[in-house]
Amino acid sequence: MSEPDPTQPSEIEITGLSKTFGQGASAFTALADIDLSIRTGEFFTLLGPSGCGKTTLLRVIAGFEQPTTGSLKINGKEVAGQGPNARPVNTVFQSYALFPHMSVAQNIGFGLKMLGRPAAEVKETTAQMLKLVQMEAMADRKPSEISGGQQQRVALARALAPQPRVLLLDEPLSALDLKLRKEMQSELKRLQTETGITFVFVTHDQEEALTMSDRIAVMSGGRILQLGAPNDIYNSPAERFVADFIGDTNFLTVKVVEATDTIAQVRLPGGMLQSARLPEGMHPAAGDDVTVVIRPEQANLTEGGASPLSATVTHSVFFGTDTLVHVTLVDGTPFTLRRQNAGNPTPPAPGTQVGLTFAHGALQVIRE
């Protein structure tokens, strides 16, 4: 399936939506003034820490919670106020909630039977779903006789069987071990691509979001802080929270020397000048202190010769494919670099004096 077309109508359209629990002094606003369009056929992820509102938003879309204010449309139809059964959505939860006394095939077909579908259709669709999730050989087994990853595939097949317009997934990989979780990331993306169904995925795991998503909404405090493609979210974070939450990040406080609409010349610790990208709409003045963000893989070590920053190696951490080298800058600021191990020599020993250089466009000024 091709990438979702940004010009096509939205599958889910949310306008001015808020959700408040309780009343008076004890009231808690879980969602505040959410505006969001989710396109038909895209893999969309709600990403953020615990308590940011992502699961509440998913439950509002599902119909398990009703918004306090605002509009929620699915396929162009207003659904605010309707229950889950009236919406063209299905949900896969953290706990797969399979019926232990039923076989894999019976679990998959259960929802279709409850919808009153003919027996022949239930049988045919169940067979199609078993093939889709590659579980044909286990159709007669009970949930207790299959692995956690296989149980998750059954839960997915059961949710996909009625062919909902939208599939909602509430951290469905959190109970799996690391290797199986990575395998299921690829499996989920394959299923979404093959079915063409709109997936709305909730997670606090940055890697899951970056790996699978067409677009990501980063949430905090019941609000969407940034919305965009994984590459944009990672390489051009809108503010400090997003930069800090998505991947490893270095922050430096620097002074602006001069600035245009898109680029600022900043003075680094130690005195050298460097160019830094400016976020849209930010216009710092000469003499202002600003924060720049630099990803660890965008910095390189040099030994000897001039470099924008001088530092002292404190320690290194080996991660197999790469090594994190931790250094301290001349002003005492800690800084981390990521080096690919293939073809690179052993990192300098602790106490070694080194210099740092940066890839083109590596520095970006961010909003606090």
User: Do residues 307 and 197 both lie within one domain?
Assistant: no
Task: State mean pLDDT over 27-50.
Answer: 95
pLDDT at 199 exceeding the cut of 60 = yes
Q: Which of 164, 228, 171 has the alpha carbon at shortest distance from 192? A: 164
User: Do residues 131 and 186 both lie within one domain?
Assistant: yes
Query: Could you tell me what percentage of the chain is helix, strand and coil, using 3-state DSSP and rounding each to the nearest 5?
Result: 25, 35, 40
**Residue 3 resides in a domain:** no
Burial class (CB in 10 A: 0-12, 13-18, 19+), 108: buried
- Residue 24: predicted pLDDT: 85
Q: Which residue stretches of the chain are H helix?
A: 54-62, 104-114, 119-132, 148-160, 178-195, 206-212, 230-235, 240-245
pLDDT at 1 exceeding the cut of 50 = no
Contact 185, 211 (CB under 8 A): yes
> Which residues are registered as beta bridge partners of 291?
253, 366
**Residue tagged 């894999």 (tokens):** 104
Beta carbons within 10 angstroms of residue 295's beta carbon = 23
- Residue 76: predicted pLDDT: 93
User: Do residues 268 and 234 both lie within one domain?
Assistant: no
- Taking CA atoms, 225 is separated from 232, 253, 280, in Å, by 13, 22, 15
Q: Which residues does 261 contact at the CB level (< 8 Å), separation at least 6?
A: 278, 283
**Residue 1 resides in a domain:** no
Q: What is the pLDDT of residues 141-162, one digit of tens each?
A: 999 999 888 888 888 889 888 8
- Residue 6: predicted pLDDT: 58
- Residue 296: predicted pLDDT: 95
Residue 346 sits in a domain whose CATH number is 2.40.50.140
**Residue 5 resides in a domain:** no
| Highest mean pLDDT (candidates 80-89, 173-182, 221-230) | 221-230
Q: For 244-279, give the DSSP string.
A: HHSS--EEEEEEEEEE-SSEEEEEPTTS-EEEEE--
| Highest mean pLDDT (candidates 5-9, 50-54, 346-350) | 50-54
- Residue 7: predicted pLDDT: 61
Q: Which of 180, 149, 164 has the alpha carbon at shortest distance from 75? A: 164
Which of 40-44, 181-185, 359-363 bottoms out in mean pLDDT, i.e. has the lowest? 181-185
pLDDT at 2 exceeding the cut of 50 = no
Total of domains in the chain? 2
**Residue 62 resides in a domain:** yes
Q: Note the pTM of the prediction, 2 decimals.
A: 0.88
User: Do residues 30 and 147 both lie within one domain?
Assistant: yes
Residue 124 sits in a domain whose CATH number is 3.40.50.300
Q: What is the pLDDT of residues 310-367, one digit of tens each?
A: 999 999 999 888 999 999 998 899 999 999 888 777 888 999 999 999 999 999 999 9
Which domain covers residue 163, as residue numbers? Answer: 10-242
- Taking CA atoms, 30 is separated from 69, 80, 354, 367, in Å, by 12, 17, 47, 24
Question: What is the Cα–Cα distance from 279 to 70, expressed in whole angstroms?
Answer: 30
- Residue 214: predicted pLDDT: 96
